[in-house]
A = this chain, B = another copy of it.
Amino acid sequence: MASPHQLPKEIANLHYEDLLPHNQQGYPVTREFLQKVIDILMDHVKDTNDRNCKILEFHHPEDMKKLLDLDIQDKGVTLQQLVQDCHTTLKYQVKTGHPRFFNQLSCGLDLVSMAGEWLTATANTNMFTYEIAPVFILMENVVMQHMREIIGWENGAGDSILAPGGSISNLYAFLAARHKMFPQYKEKGLSSIKGQLVMYTSNQCHYSVKSCASVCGLGTDHCVEVPSDELGRMIPSELERLILERKARGDIPFFVNCTAGTTVLGAFDPIEDIAAICQKYKCWMHVDAAWGGGLMLSKKYRHPRLTGIEKADSVTWNPHKLMGTLLQCSTIHFKEDGLLISCNQMSAEYLFMQDKLYDVRYDTGDKVIQCGRHNDIFKLWLQWRAKGDEGFEKHMDHLMEMSEYMVRRIKEQPDKFELMMEPELVNVSFWYIPTRLRGMEKSRERENLCGQIAPVLKSRMMQSGTLMVGYQPLDDRPNFFRNIISSAAVTHADIDFLLNEMDRLGHDL
């Protein structure tokens, strides 16, 4: 397979040693090579936004291995081969920014954010200290304060950090809560606490919350799953009952995770009711708004979903989801300043010296558990500069309006689609009904039959390459489709296409 991207003959067979910094005169060749890669990326941007291009060209792993040339050899390949490698990689990669990719919580390709990530790569710095990342550290301060203001903490007070994904953000919250309530724990460990620590979360929460219990030594048996209502929202009276139950045993309930936007259903736990219970029983309240947090940017949709979030002790909020920031970009915010450092500092004075030229309070290395930290701020800052708060509000309203439109269209075709519930967020859950089941009444039996065909319909989507929508079972519900609209590219026409295409691919199942 030839690439349309040929380097000039005199460069094509050169190798990495001919580039900077190995060849100090190598700037012209370096520039030509890099520009050729950029041309390929520009084509990918164009194709990603072209509805006539496929989302993917599916091959099974064993076949894909044959199509690709992935081997690492003793000797390096030529510059032309590297260009070809870039071309081939993108040819077989799934276009997650395509307007008909509805498959994940992170869809879309925000091009300003992408430009930001290109610059981040080129700057290639670590976020330890002001010394080596002065501009990015200041940007982090500005953006994190702005986000805390949006959460509703007075003047943006508190502290925040960017973490590699929502799961690690939730882990940060757990660690800070434990440290705040049991400060001896850091040195003495769990054995110094008399009584079993217990945490609570709804049975719809992200699995990373349960993972905290395993990682941090509680054990998943002591992460209590609170039942949720039919829309997937935690039932506060059940939370209280389960707290009392464990207290009666002599255990120590100390942490409640409240999900603002569950992974599958997009449900919002009732924050204010849960906050009251946390206050009553002196539990830390964490709000995992990794998914739904973006709605704080919309006056129209923030309430009642996120009402009361300012009562949280900590908040996870992932810009790489609803806000469309490039992967990855996750933030964790604390109402109390100073906790992050006192919790995570390991006194590595050989790394974070206090006798520096500048005000070392700007250094962040000692606040985090990662030590080295990727620069995840620039792509978010640049995107926010481009959009302003208004642009993000418009974006959120657009996503919600598209989801409302999709719900309306599904309801207009009750023979072909069964809406599972009215969504609170951009997760639209439904069953597709093939022709042979259209005579059947709505029932659990029909849902089971529709559930059986979901994997087949999904594989037809992937093989046709025209559409991607996720499906999964949930509790006692059989497989159903969960459509996500988190890409700015989605239009009314794309939603009409989505529903028609499912029917075209699946009617005979």
| Bound complex: CA A65 to CA B41 (Å) | 34
Interface bits A62-74 vs B (CB < 8 Å: 1, else 0):
1011001011111
Q: Taking each of A31, A72, A85, A93, which has the highest tally of chain B beta carbons within 10 Å of its own beta carbon?
A: A72
A355 at the interface (CB under 8 A from B): yes
Do residues A370 and B96 form an inter-chain contact, with CB atoms below 8 A?
no
Find the B residue at minimum CB distance from A19. B111
Q: Which residues of B contact A244 (CB under 8 A)?
A: none
A213 at the interface (CB under 8 A from B): yes
Set B124, B207, B216: member contacting A215, Cβ < 8 A? B216
Interface bits A44-58 vs B (CB < 8 Å: 1, else 0):
111001000000101
Do residues B38 and A164 form an inter-chain contact, with CB atoms below 8 A?
no
| Bound complex: CA A328 to CA B163 (Å) | 13
A305 at the interface (CB under 8 A from B): no
Interface bits A1-36 vs B (CB < 8 Å: 1, else 0):
000000000000001110111101001001101110
Distance from A100 Cβ to chain B, minimum over Cβ atoms (Å): 12
Find the B residue at minimum CB distance from A385. B77
Interface residues on A, range: 35 or more
Do residues B207 and A219 form an inter-chain contact, with CB atoms below 8 A?
no
| Bound complex: CA A215 to CA B211 (Å) | 13
Number of copies: 2
| Bound complex: CA A165 to CA B501 (Å) | 42
The segment from A269-277, A332-340, A372-380, A399-407 that touches chain B is A372-380
Set B60, B86, B206, B385: member contacting A359, Cβ < 8 A? B60
Do residues A16 and B125 form an inter-chain contact, with CB atoms below 8 A?
no
Distance from A298 Cβ to chain B, minimum over Cβ atoms (Å): 14
Do residues B356 and A45 form an inter-chain contact, with CB atoms below 8 A?
no
A196 at the interface (CB under 8 A from B): yes
Do residues B134 and A167 form an inter-chain contact, with CB atoms below 8 A?
no
Interface bits A388-422 vs B (CB < 8 Å: 1, else 0):
11110000000000000000000000000000000
| Bound complex: CA A31 to CA B42 (Å) | 7
Distance from A432 Cβ to chain B, minimum over Cβ atoms (Å): 16
The segment from A278-286, A342-350, A437-445 that touches chain B is A342-350
Identify 6 residue pairs between A and B in the complex whose beta-carbon atoms are under 8 Å apart, listed by A's number. A41-B119, A72-B389, A86-B115, A86-B382, A165-B373, A357-B462
